[in-house]
Amino acid sequence: MRTIVLGTRKSNLAMKQTEWVISELKKLDLPYNYEIKKIVTKGDKILDVTLSKVGGKGLFVKEIEQAMEDKEIDIAVHSMKDMPGELQDGFTIGAITNRVDPRDAFIANDHIRLEDLPEGSVVGTSSLRRSAQLLAHRPDLNVQWIRGNIETRLRKLREENFDAIILASAGLERMGWGGDLVTEYLEPDVCIPAVGQGALGLECRNDDKEVLDLLAHLNDEAVRKRVTAERAFLQAVEGGCQVPIGGYATLEEDGEVELTALVGSPDGKVILKETRRGADPEQVGRDAAHLLLEQGAKEILDKVKRELDNQ
């Protein structure tokens, strides 16, 4: 009986996600054993440093792909939102799983809602996408950088000088911490989520037919269409997870995908946002990108990348 090894980062969230994947695989009742191997990536070792400094997008993914190439692992479990736009040769996303809540969660001390936060309140985020949209909505707030995994950020909200933080609902939900912790969920009209947020990507070697067949059972075709549109947009604007880009697609009753795509300046002063709809997810993503590029998205992103490089 083949043992299929699932590799992931060693954070508690990554472990929870991988355990969930294994429980879904076990339900299939196929003759395989499953094992988890934790991989400590460079990105995990330097969480306190600005990621862009040490290789930017795909930092976590590369080392996990190396482990797959070396056959140490067979499946890599990723948050789709941490996946770079393009994979290295030899790998493919065998499944995009069902999507938990894609929205961002606003968590405030004393549960003060975003609308009611006093001027100058300190909101922690480590995402330029969140800071751009937050400041566009509430330019009077004081956005501060907050780093670390989910547990660390929640601790910093309690112990340090933050009035509120923003986290992905998905991570909280998977940790089993949704509910009471969250002050409010930010709807896409306030905060467009990150491309792929809430879905898991199960990556494998593209010549491993057995694993590809196995993963096909976990693929959610509706989510794949949505995330495909979002990622086509991300790729066409050449963005990664370090730049202020959001993309959120829904699947409509007629089978068309509707994508809202966003590029903003980190200070929230410029927000470019367009909605496109169509039958071909890739085309919808590229069209949205084209519209934003026409309006100056590339200049905004180039400026952000230059600033990150100079940090």
Q: Are 104 and 168 in contact (CB under 8 A)?
A: yes
Residue from 7, 171, 239, 246 touching ligand PBG (CB under 6 A): that is: 171
| Smallest separation (angstroms) from ligand PBG to the CB of 31 | 30
The one catalytic residue in 48, 74, 82, 116 is 82
Binding segment toward ligand PBG, per CB under 6 A, in 42-50, 79-87, 184-192, 201-209: 79-87
183 binds ligand PBG (CB under 6 A): no
Q: Which is nearer to ligand PBG, 43 or 208 (CB)?
A: 43
| Smallest separation (angstroms) from ligand PBG to the CB of 287 | 24
CA contacts within 13 A on the Cβ side of 229: 27
CA distances from 310 to 131, 144, 305 (A): 19, 19, 9
| Smallest separation (angstroms) from ligand PBG to the CB of 99 | 9
Q: Is 254 a catalytic residue?
A: no
109-168 residues in contact with ligand PBG (CB under 6 A) are: 150, 167-168
| Smallest separation (angstroms) from ligand PBG to the CB of 172 | 8
Q: Which is nearer to ligand PBG, 128 or 287 (CB)?
A: 128
198 binds ligand PBG (CB under 6 A): yes
170 binds ligand PBG (CB under 6 A): yes
249 binds ligand PBG (CB under 6 A): no
Write out the residues near ligand PBG by the rule CB under 6 A: 79, 81-82, 150, 167-168, 170-171, 197-198
Catalytic residues: 82
